[in-house]
Structure formats: structure tokens, C-alpha cells
Structure 1
Amino acid sequence: MTDTQHAAPDENTPPPGGEPEPGEAAGAEAETPVPDLGETDYSDAETARMIAPVIVSTRAATGVTEDRSAPVIAEFAKQIGFFARPPVLIPDGEGVLAALSELLVQIEPAVIITSGGTGLTPDDMTPEFTKPILDKEIPGIMEAVRAHGRTKNPLASLSRGVAGVTGKTVIVNLPGSPKAVREGMEVLIELLPHLCDQVADIRDHEAWGGEE
């Protein structure tokens, strides 16, 4: 196409088709790199009690600061007989979708817990990239996490994290600070063992107070 065929578009005019959707590259050159997951060869028995932390932090991903949230997740995982694999560190933004997709395809852990990107700054996009891949949302999880967080800090209400299930994997968005992760895990350890059994179709009707 030459300049004589069409006038140059106004710089404020969106491209044909409207604004890019979350996860859609703004241009042909803007491909999101696939994150390095490290070890992916796990047995079914291991993945059935695996928590995969995804740390969404540009500073941690680029080595400016040391991540302190993944160790908190690992600490609580041990309390309920789970284990946390090494974390995936990614910058804030659309890398969340690539990380979640790779974990689901390559490993399919019982649980993925993201930390970071749940606030209100322009690059806080973790919920936007998580929600579209959920088969079923579980609003009560984040309601409980925020309610517990408010007992420590009223600003916990501002976290926009979502939770739900994709296939056989539970996905939960927690905030980025280690303190908020600890508070979130205090809630999750009460829910995850039974929740993961339900997702895996291992039914414990007594826990629900119901009958077959």
C-alpha cells in the first residue's frame, strides 16, 4: 500500500477492529516471549499435590529485587502436604497469560498461585489475563481472602484478584507483597486440600455434610 492510496491515519485513531484485547499483540513485532519453566517432568502423583507459584513483578523478574513471596507459598504448602515447585518470575503485564498457558500445558499442576499485578496501576493486569482462561470462577475464595485481609489492612479490599478452575487446575490471584501472600495463604490452606480433591473428582461427601 502506498501513501497515495490512503491518507495517513490520525495518531489517535485506533487500528481497524478496535483496541487490542488482553493477550493480543498490538503489532506483529510485539510477541510475548514464552517463559522458561525449568523442570517440567513430574509424575501424576507429584502434580496432584503441586502448587506452582507465578511471581508477577518486573523488578523481581529483572533481578532488581529478590522475590520474597514464593518462599511464603512454599512454607504454607508444606503445612497441608503439598509442595511448591520453583517459581516462574515474569514482568507485570501480558506475560501472565503465557506463563499460565505454559504451566497448564506442560505440567498441569493441582494449583497455580500468582502473586502480583492485582492492583490498580496500568500494568496490573493479572486478573484480566487470568479470568478468560477459567472454566469456572470460584468467587468465594477471593471473598474470603479479601475479608481476612481486611482484618489486617482495610486496603485489602482494593485487590482485584480472581480464582477459579481450568481443567484440573485451581488458579488463584494473590497480591504482590509477602505480607498479603501470607494472609491469603492462611485462608487457602483451609480450602485447597478439599478443593483439589473435588476438582480431581475425589469426592468426600462427609466434608460437605451431604450424601451420595
Structure 2
Amino acid sequence: MIWKVALLTASDKGSRGEREDTSAQVIRELVEEELGGEIVDYRVVPDEQDELRAALIEMCDYFQADLVLTTGGTSLGLRDVTPEATMMVSERTVPGMTEAMRAAVMQRSRHYMLYRGVIAIRGRSLIVNLPGDPKGVNDMLMAIMDQLPDALLLVSGIGKDRDY
């Protein structure tokens, strides 16, 4: 199955063209090579909760992305609001996957205990918040990559639920 994937980068500098979006490049490669996904939408928006929320809604509802991967805006900075925007549009969370991502990267750097990202569901879309740095993106996404197909099947209504 080819998954429809949307990429959303939260970055003030990136949205103004002042910074190259290297994290999205890492995500794109992993989605295509490891997941067999197809990028159906990609955009860079400033760290503004309303713009993030609007982009997430459009990616899930209009583009009907199976998976929305965000990068940036997940730390403790005053303008880091990606988790809040995600929670505003989501119906349910998937804390076990978030915990697995954090555990995987904390072995490398305890700095990641400051990561606040969430994994949530909107309709039939899974939204995954990733950090803004390429290495963190790679490590966190690879920590859940083996479970993403099952999660996407379940969220889409195709997969059979198990009693966990």
C-alpha cells in the first residue's frame, strides 16, 4: 500500500526563506525509502498556532493524508506551539508511540527530555510531531517506523484491531 503523507515544517526563519529545511529532506527520504509513502503536500509555516492548526486541518481533511509529519516547534521555546496546535485538531492521542520515540533518542542525548511533541489522530489521519533537527528527526522516526504501517492501517479503518 502506498501511504499519502503530508509534511509540515514549523519555522519562522524557514517560512521567510532564511533557513534551509533540512529536517523535511530527512523525512522525505525516510518516507519514500522506509515507508513507501508518497508526499501529497509540503509546506513551511511560521511558528504560529493558528497557521499550524489550519495547515493540519487542510492536510488531514482536504488532502486526506494518511500520515502528517511535522517538524519543529516541539521544544520549550515561547514560540514552540506545534504540540498545542496538534492537540487542538486531534481527537485522540497515541502516547505509546511518542514514548518510544523519546526513549530512543534519550539514549543519545538527555536533551530530548525537553521534547514535547505528540502523536495524535484526526479522522483517518495520524499526526506525528518530530523535532526540528535532522538527527532527531531520523532517530525518532526510525524508532516508530516498524509500527507505522500497522498504526496507519488501524487509523484508516482497514486494519484489524487487537486487544492491547
Q: Does 1:138 align with 2:98?
A: no
Q: Does 1:125 align with 2:81?
A: yes
Give the structure 2 partner of residue 85 of structure 1.
40
Aligned length: 161
The two structures have a TM-score, normalised by structure 2, of: 0.91
The separation in 1 between residues aligned to 2:56 and 2:19, in whole angstroms, is 23
Identify which of 17, 21, 25 aligns with 1:63.
17
The separation in 1 between residues aligned to 2:39 and 2:134, in whole angstroms, is 16
Give the structure 2 partner of residue 103 of structure 1.
59
The separation in 2 between residues aligned to 1:115 and 1:80, in whole angstroms, is 17
Which residue identity lines up with residue 89 of structure 1 in the other structure?
A: V
Identify which of 30, 50, 54 aligns with 1:76.
30
Deviating above 3 A after TM superposition, structure 1's stretches of 4 or more consecutive aligned residues are: none
Which residue identity lines up with residue 39 of structure 2 in the other structure?
A: A
Deviations 1:6-49 (A, max 9, x none): xxxxxxxxxxxxxxxxxxxxxxxxxxxxxxxxxxxxxxx8xx60
The separation in 2 between residues aligned to 1:202 and 1:101, in whole angstroms, is 22
Q: Which structure has the larger Rg over C-alpha atoms?
A: 1
Deviations 1:162-194 (A, max 9, x none): 111110000011111111111111123111111
Gaps of 5+ in 1: 1-44
Question: Relative to 1, partners in 2 of residues 1:137 and 1:152: Cα closer, same or farther, differing over 3 Å?
Answer: same
Give the structure 2 partner of residue 184 of structure 1.
140
Higher mean C-alpha displacement, 76-85 vs 59-68: 76-85
Maintained 8 Å contact 1:53/1:86:
yes
Deviations 1:77-129 (A, max 9, x none): 12222122352100112221111112123211000011000111111111111
Q: Does 1:155 align with 2:114?
A: no
Maintained 8 Å contact 1:77/1:189:
no
Higher relative contact order, structure no. (Cα contacts within 8 Å, ≥ 6 residues apart): 2
The separation in 2 between residues aligned to 1:69 and 1:168, in whole angstroms, is 25
Aligned-pair identity (%): 32
Gaps of 5+ in 2: none
Q: Does 1:194 align with 2:153?
A: no
**CA deviation after TM superposition for structure 1 residue 204, in Å:** 4.5
The separation in 1 between residues aligned to 2:123 and 2:92, in whole angstroms, is 9
Structure with greater strand percent: 2
Give the structure 1 partner of residue 120 of structure 2.
164
The separation in 2 between residues aligned to 1:151 and 1:55, in whole angstroms, is 25
